[in-house]
Amino acid sequence: MAKEEKKFITKKSENLSQWYIDVVLGCELADYAPVKGCMVFRPYGWSLWESIKEYLNKRIIDTGHVNAQFPLLIPESFLKKEAEHVKGFAPEVAWVTHGGDEKLGERLAIRPTSEAIICHMYSKWINSYRDLPVLINQWVNVMRWEKKTKPFLRTTEFHWQEGHTAHRTHEEAMEEVIRMLHVYRDFAQEDLAMAVLSGPKSDSEKFAGADQTHAIEAMMPDGKALQSGTSHDLGQHFAKVFDIKFLDDDQVEKYVWQTSWGVSTRIAGGLIMMHGDDAGLRLPPKIAPIQIVVVPIIFEKSKSEVLEKAEALAKALGGMAVFGRPVRVKFDANEQVSAGFKFNHYEMKGVPLRVEVGPKDIEKGNVKIVDRISGAKEFVSVNFSDYSFDPAEFTGRLEAAQKNLFENSQRELESRTLEAGDISELENIVANSRGFAIVNWGGSDEDELAIKERTSATLRVLLEPVKDGNIKCFYSGNPARCRAVFAASY
């Protein structure tokens, strides 16, 4: 914030796509890198991701997992072991062919995902049923050579966590798949204030090498779904080709059952798009890098007193806790720009609460609070002799803002979830950017493809089974197997 130069942001309601880029660049969340499709996480954007990570990591650890770190490079022969896996990923792999001046004997893939390298290690580490379950997660960078990219939402290099577990039975593995799906759902809803749908994917949308994929799906303001986390039942596909066997307590050698699951930096793109407004970002207080900004209102006469008292108040605010952690407060004493400039700046950056401290406030024993989420402006009492105040006036507002954002998101998702009785209704929902289309589904892979070609919508998740044999599939006319959700997607 060097010069007083208001950043121009396209209106969200007018052009979502341009608004998104304006916000990402204007808030200095990210910048384009010189390698196509890659991005730089600028400090504010990285701090947002670190904050997201902290919440998700806690949920992963609390469900019994441990973090490790596997290598970046995977020999081509490893990737090739699982036929579906290599078919799915080979077209988007970045290949290392030379180390220094030497041509390598075998090409090495920069990991597009780590099943192949992790399964190789598991086959060394797992011998007995006593070694199971193995519940390992890693936070890493991965690379997929994407054609169309957009900061956060789809980038060639991205950051994520990938969990890889091995179990004694399929039942236990399935419990894990669902456990992590629910961890992702709760994380999205409770920490990021993003309402999501969750459920299994169809066969044609599953992970390359999995028996089944479950996902959480968020709804963006343009009616497109954003797949925001996936949890895979890998069956024994990888165990068989990587020879991951254990001696069970019945003295029989068996293959393990595996799962993998991941959430990436893409979800940060989702939350930016979902919560922002015409003025810029609106960050859920739980994960906002700055939760409260204190802006001193400076006049030459009262400057030193205001700066001193505002800073002391900022320090006192930082002594509070909210969401079980210390409140993150920024005190902005920069005198090269006006208070008005700062108001706009932190509004654009989505800081949940702004606290203004001017000479009159100090006189009256109050501060002006501006709530970024609700827009409310109120005065709150502060004793400027000992910097005492009612903490709930601040933390309560942060908690309420978190709740409000989620409720908005939930309402938006509900209002964008519409029944489609036939293909033209589905087409209409998609063409008018209206969101999720719920249908009775009994179609085939070919039907899915045909629907995609006609409407651009794909099957996002499968919902509850349809038991009434008289209910027909909205598309094929066959008896419906289940309810399902179609939508256009990112």
Calculate the CA dihedral of residues 100, 103, 106, 109 and round it to 10 degrees: 50
CB nearer its own copies, residue 5 or residue 453:
5
User: In Å, how far from its chain's centre is CA 413?
Assistant: 16
CB 41 to its own copies: min, Å: 4
Cβ count within 10 A of residue 360: 12
Round to whole Å and give the CA distance between 442 and 260.
28
Residues that bind its own copies (CB under 8 A): 2-3, 31, 33-35, 38-43, 45-47, 49-50, 66-75, 78, 90-101, 107-108, 110, 117, 120-121, 124-125, 127-128, 130-131, 136, 138, 140-141, 143, 145, 156-157, 159, 336
CB 219 to its own copies: min, Å: 28
CB nearer its own copies, residue 129 or residue 379:
129
CB 311 to its own copies: min, Å: 16
* Residue in 370, 345, 352 with CA at minimum distance from that of residue 27: 345
CB nearer its own copies, residue 331 or residue 394:
331
Contacts of 159 (CB under 8 A, 6+ apart): 49, 139, 140, 141, 142, 264, 265
CB 399 to its own copies: min, Å: 24
Contact, 48 vs 268, CB < 8 A?
yes
CB nearer its own copies, residue 108 or residue 459:
108
CB 308 to its own copies: min, Å: 21
Burial bucket for residue 36 (CB in 10 Å: 0-12, 13-18, 19+): exposed
Calculate the CA dihedral of residues 187, 193, 199, 200 and round it to 10 degrees: -70
SS3 state at 227: strand
* Residue in 293, 315, 320, 328 with CA at minimum distance from that of residue 386: 315
CB nearer its own copies, residue 67 or residue 424:
67
Round to whole Å and give the CA distance between 48 and 287.
7
CB 3 to its own copies: min, Å: 7
Cβ count within 10 A of residue 140: 17
* Residue in 424, 415, 435 with CA at minimum distance from that of residue 486: 435
CB 128 to its own copies: min, Å: 5
Contacts of 475 (CB under 8 A, 6+ apart): 422, 423, 439, 441, 443, 447, 450, 451
Contact, 485 vs 463, CB < 8 A?
yes
CB nearer its own copies, residue 156 or residue 455:
156
CB 66 to its own copies: min, Å: 4
CB 101 to its own copies: min, Å: 7
CB nearer its own copies, residue 124 or residue 148:
124
CB 104 to its own copies: min, Å: 9
CB nearer its own copies, residue 335 or residue 445:
335
CB 368 to its own copies: min, Å: 28
CB nearer its own copies, residue 157 or residue 448:
157
DSSP for 150-177, written as a single string: BTTTB-SEEEEEEEEEEESSHHHHHHHH
CB nearer its own copies, residue 68 or residue 449:
68
CB 107 to its own copies: min, Å: 8
CB nearer its own copies, residue 36 or residue 377:
36
Positive or negative, the CA dihedral 82, 87, 89, 95 is positive
CB 105 to its own copies: min, Å: 10
* Half-sphere exposure (Cβ direction) of 434: Cα atoms closer than 13 Å: 17
CB nearer its own copies, residue 13 or residue 77:
77
Phi-psi region of 246 (alpha: psi -120 to 50; beta: other; left: phi over 0): beta
CB nearer its own copies, residue 151 or residue 235:
151
Would you call the peptide bond into 200 cis, given omega within 30 degrees of 0 as the criterion?
no
* Residue in 184, 169, 174, 176 with CA at minimum distance from that of residue 136: 176
Contact, 166 vs 172, CB < 8 A?
no
